[in-house]
Structure 1
């Protein structure tokens, strides 16, 4: 199994200078050949990866582009592979059309095994043309990585991301199952009645974010003060993202430790954020990130995640008798004629659990079969 472990690193000033040139060359190669492929398409031609690779070799021999040879050739070649992957994802309708890389934003350079050496014994990482990189190892890396990616965030922080070929030990089976109903008032409600509070990290840091953004707006663009203020804004955004990621991992780890099967709704999150009254709260909750983290942890540790059809009326249906009701957002309790009075989120979680168990029992969806003609 391929796992990605990321660590904070601290390059020297000389290494920072060379990394800045490396990031610039990687960005230039990607953008240059994206432009070339766009131009070829307008001429009715097709430009393949092998053609871009040969063109890169010719480009490096041009005296006007001799500066491309000042950095390691591996990240430049990898940027062509990333461009090819971006086009493949577009044609297979997994993503949008590839866009040009910007100088502002996260910068990265990927190195394969031919361009780095990792010593497992003393945990030393040496990168081609950079030398030894100082890394803050938060845990021991047991094997040599297959690829190493150096990353610079807009905040100015540097990270090293390692792809490792590891097989995590499966967690012991507990024989328990649960279902989650995600929401905004409470982040998640479990079928056993437990509720997970919504941390609302954006709301928590909103005043600080507004203050540093006001300071940025007063600075003259292009000045050193502007760049410093821009980094301060980026650091607040990074803090919010880190808090969310930490909470996502904690919740996912708790679930896979306690339950063998976790049932979730297949939510249309892209459609939900189109509601402008709820868009900020939904993006602050980052429900999609929680779902992806739970799925990844479950696969990693031998647990199972089952998704229930998004059109299954989990919120509108009474979990006791199956009667359907209209449930606007302001109505927080399910009150059924059968006498069932229950929190709407708990009612939905119980319905998701029952529907998910039906999915695993039948091996198909939970939508009713069409009536025979």
Structure 2
């Protein structure tokens, strides 16, 4: 998902690249079989470019609408400053992470919030948002990425891992807003 809010709102991201990947692969194969710089090669190259442009425009439109909705709804938006390039390489989520366009989304949030006189607060990427219990503030030392439900040994609570992290990020942002 693109994001999970502290109110358990989840962005239903349409995965534009995944939807058109077979069509793009077919067009790229057709392009590779053409004689370079011929008229048919130019047409095939244009077809591949149009598919890429369609993906780009669809993604951009979705992100603009979503960022506008969030900025008009909230006075302060608190996000985690994530290294998405590192995540895509290290965790083998390459296409999924880059298809989300998280960096572009955060830039859109920032300039739209600034335009409307609202705030976007970034929490440090090393803040243990996923490892901290949102109920009792107990920090788990080890937490595998495959564990999608956070189970606290201290207070015996169970909560969705992403929702737990978003609540912790909200609370960290509120403390920053208080200063």
TM-score scaled by length of structure 2: 0.94
Q: How does 1:219-238 map to 2 (within 5 A)?
A: 219-238=34-53
Q: How does 1:149-298 map to 2 (within 5 A)?
A: 186-275=1-90, 277-298=92-113
Q: 1:23-47: per-residue Cα shift (whole Å, max 9, x none)?
A: xxxxxxxxxxxxxxxxxxxxxxxxx
Q: Note the C-alpha offset of 1:272.
A: 1.7
1:336 aligns with 152
Residue ranges of structure 2 left out of the alignment (5+ in a row): none
Q: 1:282-329: per-residue Cα shift (whole Å, max 9, x none)?
A: 111111111111111111111110111111010111111112222222
Q: Secondary structure of 2:163's partner?
A: helix
Q: Secondary structure of 1:342's partner?
A: strand
Q: How does 1:292-311 map to 2 (within 5 A)?
A: 292-311=107-126
Question: Which of the pair is proportionally richer in helix?
Answer: 2
Q: Of the candidates 164, 167, 173, which is equivalent to residue 347 of structure 1?
A: 164
Q: Note the C-alpha offset of 1:276.
A: 6.2
Q: Of the candidates 172, 175, 179, which is equivalent to residue 358 of structure 1?
A: 175
Q: Secondary structure of 1:307's partner?
A: strand
Cα-Cα RMSD? 1.2
Q: 1:254-274: per-residue Cα shift (whole Å, max 9, x none)?
A: 101110000011111232222
Residue ranges of structure 1 left out of the alignment (5+ in a row): 1-185, 363-373
Rounded Cα–Cα distance in structure 2 between residues aligned with 1:255 and 1:329: 27
| Structure number with larger C-alpha Rg | 1
Rounded Cα–Cα distance in structure 2 between residues aligned with 1:277 and 1:350: 26
Indicate whether 1:313 and 2:128 are aligned: yes
Q: Secondary structure of 1:232's partner?
A: helix
Q: Secondary structure of 2:121's partner?
A: strand
Q: Secondary structure of 1:230's partner?
A: helix
Q: Note the C-alpha offset of 1:275.
A: 2.1
Q: Secondary structure of 2:47's partner?
A: helix
